[in-house]
Amino acid sequence: MNARALLQLSPSAWSRLNRAQPIDYPPLQQSGVQLYLKREDLLHPTISGNKLYKLHGHLQAAQQRQCRVLVSFGGYYSNHLHALAATAQALGLTSVGVVRGDQPAQLSPTLEDCRSLGMQLVFVSRRDYQRKNDPDWLAGLLPKHINALPGQVYVIPAGGEGSAGVAGCRALVDAIDEFPGLANTTVCVPCGTGTTLAGMLRESRSGETYLGFAALKLGSRRAAYKDDVRRLSETATIAARWDIVDDFHCGGFAKSNTKLLSFMQQFELATGVPLDPVYTGKMLLGINALARRGYWPAGHRVIAIHTGGLQGRRGQPGLHARVGRAP
């Protein structure tokens, strides 16, 4: 399905395209845990995974305001900017990526893709990038690079977070609720901004259990991060049991180690499922470790969300690039 046709569907329709399927991974089976993967990486070769779900509400808001320029933020290997560039091109909109860091002599493959998809790249220092949520700073930055009236510009927070980002992610629960007996099931989601988990928690029901696997080092900020996810869910009471696991960040956001890379290679060899080293790889590393520790009883079902982002493999030496271009 091409990008334009995909974008004409609803998030609920996207969610039904790739239902959770059983994955035979011997180490988990030996622990008595049955793994299911909902492979959002198969949603589209360029606009993959939860990135599209998080963009949905923002695209609707931009359309309602008749904005023709979409601006957002990210690093050299940002899945979010990559998906935004492809989405904007498919919709005939202008996209601008504010990139963290000075412009390198050679663009990363991700930024090369973004530029070829029509995205204008604006590089800012890491210090200035910390001000990305400051309206006054943006008001001074954007007119220097964008030939558009302020009312034509829609700014999407980094990673697509916020209320608009949560809206589309709510639909991911649709393909989870097909399973009977969710009391014996844990739904696992990798977390960066926490937006995807927040959307699913908003639609969760009593008796369900969710675990968010943090891709970043939280440390003393763990409680505050949980509060942020609870706030993003925009519901007074989250019906499901849920928690954040922050033991498998492998050094911090976008960082990896030999343990993670070795696990990814073993998992891919055994299952044929490619992983990304920033999000889904860390989550499955954590799921495997928890199962080996006896965290779940024998016979337990784990449904994990593969959030795509395979283009980001190109930022990790030794991993084969798995990225497509929109047909």
Q: Is pLDDT above 60 for 109?
A: yes
262 Rama sector, left if φ>0, alpha if ψ -120 to 50, beta otherwise:
alpha
The string of pLDDT tens digits covering residues 162-196 is 999 999 999 999 888 888 777 899 999 999 999 99
Strand stretches in 102-250, DSSP E: 120-124, 153-155, 185-191, 209-214, 241-245
Mean pLDDT confidence for 290-298: 96
Q: Is residue 123 over pLDDT 80?
A: yes
Enter the pTM of the model.
Answer: 0.93
- pLDDT for 286 beyond 60: yes
Residue 321 has what pLDDT?
53
Q: What span, in angstroms and rounded, lies between the C-alpha atoms of 64 and 57?
A: 11
Contact (Cβ atoms closer than 8 angstroms) between residue 242 and residue 173: no
Q: Could you give the percent of the chain with pLDDT greater than 70?
A: 97
Which pLDDT does position 325 carry in this prediction?
Answer: 37
pLDDT tier for residue 327 given thresholds of 50, 70 and 90: very low
Mean pLDDT over the full length of the chain: 92
- Mean pLDDT across 82-111: 96
Does position 326 have pLDDT exceeding 60, yes or no?
A: no
pLDDT at residue 178, rounded to an integer: 81
Quote the pLDDT of residue 324. 40
pLDDT tens per residue across span 213-239: 999 999 999 999 999 999 999 988 899
Q: List the CATH code of the domain at 3-45+167-315.
A: 3.40.50.1100
Are residues 319 and 203 in contact, defined by beta-carbon separation less than 8 angstroms? no
Mean pLDDT (whole number) for 114-120: 97
What letter does residue 161 receive in the DSSP assignment? Answer: -
19 pLDDT higher than 60: yes
The average pLDDT across 87-116 equals: 96
pLDDT digit string, tens, across residues 247-266? 999 999 989 999 999 999 99
Domain ranges of the chain: 3-45+167-315, 50-163
The residue-averaged pLDDT of 33-48 equals 93
Query: Would you state the pLDDT for residue 17?
Result: 92
Give yes or no on whether 3-45+167-315 and 50-163 have one common fold: yes
pLDDT at 322: 52
- Which fold would CATH assign to domain 50-163? Rossmann fold (3.40.50)
Of 191, 143, 139, 142, the closest CA to residue 165 belongs to 191
CA angle 48, 49, 54 (to 5 degrees): 105
